[in-house]
Structure 1
C-alpha cells in the first residue's frame, strides 16, 4: 500500500503539446529538527554530542591549507588525542577497558565526525577502528588487558598493516611472513621482497608505535594462511630494530594522515603477540584452530573487521551531506539572468538546477536510510559475537552482514564522489575556491572508493554471495542454487522450470497493472518502484547464473568463466544493492508518524526511486518493463517531484545538521 497521497496522473495536455502545465503543489513545510531526529535515528544523542564538538575543528579545517604537511599531521594528532579524552572515539570498545560498549554508537560517532576534517576522521578510523578493532576482534583477553585501554585513551597509537605494495584486494596472497621459531618461542616477521612491503599504512610515517601486521603464518614448516601479529615498530620515537619506516609523501588528499611503508628484517616478537582468537600456537609449539577449513578461517577473521567498511560508507554519506548543504543553500540565493521582471532569477528556481541537485539530495537520504539499517545489523551481530555467552554468530548472519556492508560501502562512496563533483560545478567559480570546502572534500574523499576495498571488487563479493549462497563453488551449483536469490521471494514454485523465463513470469505478477505499462495511475506507488527494482535484480542475477552454468557445463575453468561475464556480475550486484537501498528508504518512510516529515520523506523516496528507473530506462525498455510512453511519464514525474520539493530544499539539507563552522563556505551559505 502506498504510504502517501499519490501524485495525480498528468492531464491529457502535455507541456510539449503546447498547453502550459499547472504548477505542482509544493511539499508542505516541516520542522527541521524533527527531520534531523528522523535522520539521526537510534543513536541521535551520540550524533548530537559529536556535532557539538565539530566546531572545535573549524580552526583545523581553516588552517590546513597554510600548514606544512608535518605541521598538519601534528595538529591532526593533537586533535585526535583531544577527542579521545572525550570518550567519543572509544564508544565501541568494552566498558571494562575504558570504552562505551556500544558498537552502533561508535559508528554513528564516526559518521558524524566525517562532516568535519576528513584527515582527522581517517586517523581516528585507523587508530580506533582498524588497529583497535584488530586487537579487539582478533585478540583474546590477554591482548585486551594489555593494550585496549591504552588504545582507547590514545596512549598507544598503532597501525593496521595489511595492504602491501604488491597486494591490495588479494589479501590471501600477502607476501609478509610470520614464522614460529620453537627454539626461542618467538615469531619472526619478515618482508621477503620489495612487493611485500606494507604500504599506504596510516600512522606508519610519524606516529605509530605498534602495528597489527597481517602475514602468512608458518609453524613447523607448514603455512597456515594469513594471521595478524602485533609488532612494535617504534621505540622512543625511532624505528624499532629490524623495522624500516618510510613516508608515502604527499597524496591527492588526506595529508593530515601520516601514511607510510613498513618493511621487516627478521623482526622477532613473543609468541603471545599472535592475535589468537581463531587460531593459536600452543605451548608445545603446535598450530591449532577452532576452524579447520583454511579458507573459512581466513574469511571468518576478515569478517570480524567489517566495521571499517561500514564506517567508510557512512563517511561517504556524511561528506555528501556537507557538499549538498553548501550547494543547495548557494542555489537558493545566487541569482543568474533576468527573467523579464527586472530581477535575476535564483539558481534553484531553474528546472535544470533542481534536476542537478534534488535527486542527489533524495539519493543521499536513501543511502542514509540504508546505512542506518546496516549499522543496526552490525550492532546486533557485534553484540552477539562479543556477548557474555561467548557464542559465535551463525554463518548466514555474518555473510549477509558482510555482503550488505560491501555493497552499501560501494554505493555510498560513489555517491560522495558524484555529489561533491556536481555540487562543486553547481557553485561555479566560487566552488573552486579552497575556502569554500569543495577542494578538500573532493581530494579527501576520492580514496574512499578504493580503501576498505575497491568498489568493483566489493560488488564482485556481493555477486558471488548471491550466486554461491547455497554452494561452495560454481562447479557445485545446480540451476536451482544459481537462480535462487536473496529477495525474500519464494523460488520453490519454479524449481521444476528452467532459466529466466519462469522467473520473469513469476515476477511479472508483482508489477502493478500487469502488462499495461502505459498506465500512469500508480507511478508514485512505492510497491511499483520496489517491484521494478526487484525485477531488475532477479533478471540480472538469473542471467549471470545461466552464463556461469553454461560455461562450467562446457568444461571451462570457473575463473575464466567468471572473468568473461564480469560486467554482468557487477551489474547484478549493483541491482541487488540498489534494491536493498530502496527497501530501506521505503521502510524508513513507513516507520514515520503521519505528518509533514513523513510526507517530505515520501516525496524524496519517490524521487529517488523514479530517478533510478529513469537513469536505467534503456535496460527497462530493452526488457519490456517500460513502454516509451511510460518512460516519458516517469521523466515528467521526476520533474514534478523536483518542483514540489523546491520550496523545502533548504530545509532538507539543513536537516543534515552539518555545523556551519565546518562548512567554511560562509559566502555561499547565504
Structure 2
C-alpha cells in the first residue's frame, strides 16, 4: 500500500528526513486510508492535465478583471471533473474533505465559487427541498445554471432572525412576493452573486395570512442563464475589490415585489397547502429551527476544514525553509539550521500540532455533516435530526471561530519565521494570509458566532444541577453528566513532565475547565439578570466567561476526537508521535486558561504552570527530528504548494535565484528612468 505514495526527490531535506522516528508513508496511510490516497493521486493527475490550472504563478500580478476571468474558467472546469462531482464524492464521506482541501490549497477563489454553487447550494436543496426541486440540482450538475447562497444582509449578518427580507404568499396567484425593505435588507457578500450566478437560495421571512412563520429558504431565479442579465424586479451587482479572493464575485441582491412560484419554496421543514395554509412536520418551532440550523452549518464546517488547508500549506513552507536556512552557530564556520533553535521550535511546532488536530477534527466534522444531510434528505427521525442539527450548529459555530483565530496566528508566524524571504510574493505565504482573512468574518463574525455555542451550553447547567443525564448525538457534551463530580473531586496533583503530557491528565484538565466555566458563566448570568434585561445580561458575560467557555469546549472536543483517532493507530511509532502532537496542542492551548485554573482552585501551587512550560519545551525538542517527516505526511505536492521556499526538494536558493532573476523588474531599466534626471535649477 505504501507504493501508492511517491518518494520525495533526494536533496537538502534528507538530513532531517533520515532522522524521523516513524515511517511517514505509514502515517499518511493511517490518517487518510488507501482509498483516499488513490483518490488524491487521481485528482492531482487530472488537475495537471488542464492548461487553465498550469502556471498558477504566485508572482503574477493580475488585474481585477483577470482574477475574475481566471477563477470563472477554473470553476467551470471543476464542474467537468468527475472526481469532484457530488455523486462521486458522496460515495465516501472522506472524499469531500480531501477534495475541499485540494481545491482550497490550489485555486482558492475558484474553489469557493465551485463549492458555493456545487456543494452549499446543492446540499441545501437536498436537505431542505423535496422531489420537486431535483430539476435544479440536475441543471447545476449539467452546467445549465449556477447557484449562490443568500443569507446575510447589509444591515444584518450573524443575527439571522433579524433579517428583513420577506416572502409574502399570494393565495390567489399561488406565488411568493419577495421584497427587500430597503438597502439595509439587501442580501450581500454571496459568492458568485456579483456577476455570474443565475439562481440564489434566499432566506426570507415567510408571511402567510399575515402571520410571520419565520425564516424559510427559497430558490430565486436572478439572471437569465442565456444572457446573464438580471430579471425585472431584481437589482443585483458586485461588492467590489476586496483584500483577497478577488476571483470570487461577491454580490448584493435587492428584491422589489419579485414573484416566484409556490414550488420554489424549499418545503421539507414547512410548506403551503393547495388551499393556502402553512403546514410543518414540527410541532415545536424550535425543533424546526434546529433542523434548519444543521443545514446552515455547512459553510462553517467547510471553513473549519479550509483553515486546516491553509495552515498545512503555510507550515509546509515555513518548516521546510527552517530546515534549510542556516543562521549563526557555535563557531563562525558552523552555522546551524533554524530548526535547531528552541525559539524557532516554539514558534512553529505548536502550530504543526494544531494542524494535525484540525485535520483529524475537520474530517470528523465534515463526515458528521454529510451524514446529517443525507439523513435529512431521506426524512429520517425528525426529532433526532433536530437535536443533531442543533449540535452541529453549536460545534461548527465554535470550531469555525477558534480554527480561524488559530490559523490567523499560524500563518503570520510562518511568514515571520521565514524572515525577509517570507515577505516575497514568490514565497507564497502572503497570498495564504490574505485569502484566509475572510474566514474570520464570513459565515458569521467570530466573536458573535462563538456565542451560539455558549448559548447552547448554558441551557445545560440547570439539567446538571438536577442531576439529569446529559447526552447528544455526537457525544460532545456527554461528559457533563459528571460535571458536579468533576468540579468537586478534580484537582491538579501531578509532579512530573511525563504525567502532565499524558492524555488522561490533559483531558481531565479540559473537562474541569468546561465544567467550571459553564458554572461560572451561568451563575454570572443569573446574577446580572437581577438588575439587567436578558439581552444586556447575556452581553455582559462574554469576554472572560462565555467566550472562554466555548473556546475550552471546542478545544476539549478537538482533543477528544484526536485521541479517538490515535487509539486506532496500527503501530507504536505512529501512536507515539501523534501523542506528542496531542500533548503539545493540549498544553499550548492552555495559555488562555491558566488564570482560570488557579482562580477555580484546580491548581494551588506553581507546579502546573512550571510543568506545563517545561513539558512544552521538551515536546518541541522531541518533535524536532520528526518535524519534516510530519509535514511531508500532510504537505500538498509542489505544483499546488507553489513556493520557492517550501519545495519538497529543499532547493531553496536555486529556486530563489530563478525567481529573482526571472522577475520582469529584476535587471531592467524602468520605463520612467528619464524622470529621475536632475532638473536644472533656474537662475535668478
TM range (shorter): 0.7 to 0.9
- Which of 615, 628, 644 aligns to 1:637? It is 615
**Corresponding residue for 1:446?**
437
Displacement of 1:174: 1.0
**Corresponding residue for 2:29?**
37
Q: Does 1:653 align with 2:631?
A: yes
**Corresponding residue for 1:312?**
303
In 2 relative to 1, CA 99–371 (structure 1 residues): closer, same or farther, beyond 3 Å?
A: closer
- Which of 466, 486, 491 aligns to 1:480? It is 466
Displacement of 1:64: 8.2
Structure 2 contact 158–449 (Cα < 8 Å) conserved: no
Equivalent-residue separation in structure 2 for 1:525 and 1:493 (angstroms): 21
Structure 1 contact 131–159 (Cα < 8 Å) conserved: yes
**Corresponding residue for 1:663?**
641
Give the 3-state SS of the residue equivalent to 2:601 in structure 1: coil
- Which of 481, 489, 504 aligns to 2:487? It is 504
Give the 3-state SS of the residue equivalent to 2:328 in structure 1: strand
Equivalent-residue separation in structure 1 for 2:27 and 2:502 (angstroms): 22
In 2 relative to 1, CA 614–557 (structure 1 residues): closer, same or farther, beyond 3 Å?
A: closer
**Corresponding residue for 1:404?**
395
Worse-matched range after superposition: 72-81 or 102-111:
102-111
Displacement of 1:365: 0.8
In 2 relative to 1, CA 292–625 (structure 1 residues): closer, same or farther, beyond 3 Å?
A: closer
- Which of 122, 133, 136 aligns to 2:112? It is 122
Structure 1 contact 36–657 (Cα < 8 Å) conserved: no
Equivalent-residue separation in structure 2 for 1:63 and 1:115 (angstroms): 12
Q: Does 1:589 align with 2:566?
A: yes
Q: Does 1:272 align with 2:263?
A: yes
Q: Does 1:578 align with 2:555?
A: yes
Structure 1 contact 112–315 (Cα < 8 Å) conserved: no
Worse-matched range after superposition: 526-535 or 588-597:
588-597
Equivalent-residue separation in structure 1 for 2:516 and 2:469 (angstroms): 9
Q: What's the C-alpha RMSD, in Å, of the aligned pairs?
A: 2.7
Equivalent-residue separation in structure 1 for 2:268 and 2:469 (angstroms): 36
Q: Does 1:79 align with 2:70?
A: no
Gaps in structure 2 of 5+ consecutive residues: 1-17, 651-684
Per-residue CA deviation, residues 61-118 of structure 1 (Å, 9 max, x unaligned), is 3268433222222221222222221233332xxx5xx874555532332133222121
Give the 3-state SS of the residue equivalent to 1:453 in structure 2: coil
Q: How many positions carry a matched residue from both structures?
A: 620
Structure 2 contact 320–645 (Cα < 8 Å) conserved: no
Structure 2 contact 288–386 (Cα < 8 Å) conserved: no
Per-residue CA deviation, residues 574-620 of structure 1 (Å, 9 max, x unaligned), is 11111111112222221101232222112211222222235543333
Worse-matched range after superposition: 282-291 or 257-266:
282-291
Structure 1 contact 467–482 (Cα < 8 Å) conserved: no
Equivalent-residue separation in structure 2 for 1:464 and 1:613 (angstroms): 23
Displacement of 1:179: 1.4
Displacement of 1:328: 0.2
Displacement of 1:240: 1.0
Equivalent-residue separation in structure 2 for 1:492 and 1:520 (angstroms): 27
Task: Compute the TM-score of the two structures, normalised by the length of structure 1.
Answer: 0.86
In 2 relative to 1, CA 372–130 (structure 1 residues): closer, same or farther, beyond 3 Å?
A: closer
Displacement of 1:548: 2.1
In 2 relative to 1, CA 432–84 (structure 1 residues): closer, same or farther, beyond 3 Å?
A: same
Structure 2 contact 151–160 (Cα < 8 Å) conserved: yes
Q: Does 1:255 align with 2:241?
A: no
**Corresponding residue for 1:416?**
407
Per-residue CA deviation, residues 619-649 of structure 1 (Å, 9 max, x unaligned), is 3334334432442232122112111111121
Gaps in structure 1 of 5+ consecutive residues: 1-25, 472-476, 495-501
Give the 3-state SS of the residue equivalent to 1:344 in structure 2: coil
Worse-matched range after superposition: 554-563 or 247-256:
554-563
Task: Compute the TM-score of the two structures, normalised by the length of structure 2.
Answer: 0.85
**Corresponding residue for 1:18?**
none
Displacement of 1:157: 0.6
